[in-house]
Structure 1
Amino acid sequence: MSSEMKKLNVLMCGTGEYTTGWTGSGASKSDKKIGVVGLTLFDLRRLGKVEKLGMVGTNGSKFPAIRKHLDENIAQVYTDMDTTFDAFPEGAVVDPEAYKAAIDKMSAGDAVVIFTPDSTHYPIALYAIERGIHVLVTKPAVQLLAHHNDLVAAAKKHNVVCFVEHHKRFDPVYSDARARAASLGEFNFFSAWMSQPKSQLETFRAWAGRDSDISYYLSSHHIDIHCWIMQDKAIPTRVTASAATGIATSEPYNCVPQTEDTITLLVDWQSLSSSKHKGTAVYTASWTAPMKSGVHSAQHWYYMAEKGEINVDQAHRGYDIVNDESGKAWYNPFYMKYSPSESGHFDGQRGYGYVSIEKFVDAARSVNAGLTTPADFDSHGLPTIANTVLTTAILHAGRISLDEKRPVNIKRSNDEWILE
């Protein structure tokens, strides 16, 4: 199959922690010290799936430090790893719209991977799609339901692949749980918790509370997993939100006054096969968790249905390590593997952070070769833009509920999901 498939040219939008592992204050101190996106694409280039790579940010003066960081931590650590890429904007230039010049240099059938602040996803994705370029956008895809509907229509019109990078779908535990949920009958109750330590408020101070909130940023993971489990079985109908405040806006974080610490969404669900079966779900996310709890992301969820229940704790996997200096820590070996293979090569191809990006690259190449159409992936249970619309509907409804202090209904109208 690969003989028919051409290598894919990819532009990475966003130069931050998830792409490069580099933050404004140096190498990230989180569990993504050398990033995920750049590392994965450099490896996919080594393996012959990707050709030209570019990277676009808003500030060209960051690139020398980023190149040095990638060279020292990737090129010099792994065998045969080439970390070269074209940078936009070049030199000491600050240009919030540099992505346009970068995308303008691309051809239809190339691909863009977007890991930028939430409020910028929509304009960048639309700009790329309208030029016939395949798009992988990090979660939350967009903040407004109308924008999500626009991207669904644009991707269909321009016949491109548009995926949302919901990597939790490729976590072996989550995908196994989804398969088992199918035999448990009608849905009844779902509860999810996801948090990150207060140190994240330092990392995200530039946009926390200003451009987005913790519900969009973190709850998007578990809301998508629940929507995926419920696909074609039940739909969300009403969202009521509640928030805790006071930590992010105080010393030493001093986030903007409207920043919430913890956000909870209460969501009503309606079965599609039985009018009498209704379910309820509670999704909570926080970025004010304790600093030394031993995990970067605390994450667990509980699913109860007519004939059974599922309990998933993805922070504590029966695997913990104690270090004299930092104490006890629980690691997630399924996400990314950074230790090299026996031959010194990168060895993380089975991590779900990697798989998520590779599935998109494979889909784009397959469509370019005429072997599949973008619509084919909607039926594969993959996080396509069309398959993830209800995740955005719930998140957007939650934001309106917080701002307007009222419940928000989710409805279907003329083949489109709307809020009222």
Structure 2
Amino acid sequence: MSTELSKLSVLMCGTGEYTTGWTGAGASKSDKKVEVVGLTLFDLRRLGKVDHLRMVGVHGGKFPAIRKHLIENIGGAYKDMDVSFEEFPKDGKADPEAYKTAIDQMKPGDAAIIFTPDSTHYPIAIYAIERGIHVLLTKPATQKLADHIALIEAAKKHNVVCFVEYHKRFDPAYSDAKARAQTLGEFNFFNAWMSQPKSQLETFRAWAGKDSDISYYLSSHHIDICCWILQDIAIPTRVVASAATGIATSEPYNCVPQTEDTITLLVDWQSIKSQTHRGTGVYTASWTAPLKAGVHSAQQWYYMAEKGDITVDQAHRGYDITNDETGKIWYNPFYMKYSPSETGHFDGQRGYGYISIEKFVDAARSVNAGLAQPSEYDNHGLPTIANTVLTTAILNAGRISLDEKRPVAIKKEGGQWILQ
């Protein structure tokens, strides 16, 4: 089928760790040292799904180092891998609105994949969508519910695909658990934990606490999984947030004074079918976990319902490696597999980090070919902009609760979700 579809030209917005594996301090030291977005798109180009690639950042002066990093770590590691791309801004200049220049050179039906600080998601996405560009947004889609709703309406108006890159939906354990949860009756309790080591505060110092918080950055994953599981079972009605502080703002991290270490959201859920059934969700995320815990992302959750429960621990998958220098490490090859195939080619097409991006590319190509309508994907359990609105509602309510020290209600009025 891929031979019948035209190749997709893609703009990568953002030049950081997730897109290039390159950070302000050099090559990433996390589990994304060879990155995700760029690597996936370079491979999809090799496989004939993607064509021209562009990349836009704010500081054009970073591109020589990024190109060198990609040539050494991708071009030199895998057979037949072309890592070329057109950069914006050009000539080493700095331009916070270079994304407009890049998008203006694209045509309707092209695509933009946006991995930039949370506060920039909406202006970049709306600029692209209004010009007929398909959009894949990193999580969270937006920080404000009103902006998320505006993107839903714009994507519908311009008939483009707009997905949110909630890749945990494609984790085989999570997706299997979602299916099994449907047989367990009314929802009762959900408890989620996700953390990353304190070293992330160095990676994210430029925006941590200023442009976003750890709840938006990490809890968004598990809140989305819970919203996905409860899609036809229950709706959120109230959010209360609490935060721990003191580590991120101290030596050696010195983040801005308002930076929280760990954020917990307590969410009330109301059954859709039963007035008497209510549930509770507790979602905690931290970027002040120990430095040598053996995992980059600790991630687990517990789901209890009327007829049973589910426990998922995706930090410890029965697969660990011990090294004299680093100690014991639990790896996650189900997310991105970086070791090459027996022929020397990239071999990570079955990783859920890859699949998440490929699903978007396939959807955009199908719509361009007239084989599908963007609205059809809302019915497929995919993280479309329409299907992820309650995740943003909970996150936004949590931020308001922290800032204003009060509970925040989530309600539907006139067919639209609002916060009170």
Q: One fold, TM greater than 0.5?
A: yes
Counterpart Cα distance in 2 of 1:331 and 1:286: 20
Could you say what secondary structure the match of 1:79 adopts? coil
Write out per-residue CA displacement over residues 4-24 of structure 1, whole angstroms, 9 at most, x where no aligned residue: 310000000000000010011
Letter in 2 for 1:253: Y
Letter in structure 2 aligned against 1:224: D
Q: Which runs of 4+ in 1 moved over 4 A?
A: none
Alpha-carbon distance, 1:272 to partner: 0.4
Distance 1:213 1:57 in 2: 21
Q: Does 1:145 align with 2:145?
A: yes
State the alpha-carbon separation in 1 of the partners of residues 201 and 415 from structure 2: 39
Q: 1:51 Cα deviation (Å)? A: 0.5
- Equivalent position amino acid for 1:74 in 2: I
Quote the Cα distance in structure 2 between the aligned partners of 1:327 and 1:114: 35
Q: Distance in 1 between matches of 2:166 and 2:177?
A: 16
3-state SS in 2 of match to 1:121 = helix
What secondary structure does 1:154 align onto? helix
State the shift of 1:25 in Å. Answer: 1.2
Structure 2-normalised TM-score? Answer: 1.00
Distance between the aligned counterparts of 1:3 and 1:124, measured in 2? 31
Partner of 1:167: 167
Counterpart Cα distance in 1 of 2:415 and 2:106: 33
Which digits, 9 at most, give the CA deviation of each residue in 1:360-381, with x for residues without a partner?
Answer: 0000000000000000000000
Q: Structure 1-normalised TM-score?
A: 1.00
1:204-255 CA distances to partner (integer Å, 9 max, x unpaired)? 0000000000000000000000000001211000000000000000111110
CA RMSD, Structure 1 to Structure 2 (Å)? 0.5
Mapping of 1:202-281 within 5 angstroms?
202-281=202-281
> Is the counterpart of residue 399 in structure 1 residue 403 in structure 2?
no
Aligned to 1:192: 192
1:12-23 matches, within 5 Å, as 12-23=12-23
Gap regions ≥5 residues in structure 1: none
Using the aligned pairs only, state the percent identity.
80
Match of 2:310 in 1: 310
- State how far apart, in whole Å, the 2-side matches of 1:386 and 1:13 are: 22
Deviations 1:252-306 (A, max 9, x none): 1110000000000000000101110000010000000000010000000000000
Q: CA-to-partner distance for each residue in 1:66-105, whole Å, 9 max, x for gaps?
A: 0010001101110000000000001221100000000000
CA distance in 1, matches of 2:54, 2:196: 30
Letter in 1 for 2:401: S
- In the alignment, the residues of structure 1 paired with residue 413 and residue 52 of structure 2 have an alpha-carbon distance, to the nearest angstrom, of 42
CA–CA distance in 2 between the matches of 1:4 and 1:371?
11
Deviation of the 1:339 alpha carbon: 0.5
SS of 2:3's partner is coil
- The letter of the residue matching 2:140 is P
Deviations 1:175-206 (A, max 9, x none): 00000000000000000000000000000000
Q: Does 1:291 align with 2:321?
A: no
Equivalent pairs, count: 420
Q: Do structure 1's residue 352 and structure 2's residue 346 form an aligned pair?
A: no
The aligned counterpart of 2:419 is 419
Report the AA paired with residue 108 of structure 2: A
Distance 1:73 1:209 in 2: 31
Tell me what 1:79 maps to. Answer: 79
Once residues 50 and 236 of structure 2 are traced to their aligned partners in structure 1, the CA distance between those partners, rounded to angstroms, is 39
Partners of 1:154 and 1:301 in 2: CA distance? 34
> What do residues 317-355 of structure 1 show as CA deviations (whole Å, max 9, x unaligned)?
111111001111101110000000000000000000000
User: Whole-Å Cα distance in 2 between the matches of residues 179 and 265 of structure 1?
Assistant: 25
Instruction: Spell out the pairing of 1:368-379 with structure 2 (5 A cutoff).
Output: 368-379=368-379
What is the deviation of 1:108? 0.1
Q: Alignment partner of 1:221: what SS? A: helix
Partner Cα separation in structure 2 for residue 166 and residue 32 of structure 1: 16
Matched position secondary structure for 2:266 = strand
1:232 is paired with a residue of what secondary structure? coil
Aligned with 1:209: secondary structure?
A: coil
Matching residue of 1:2: 2
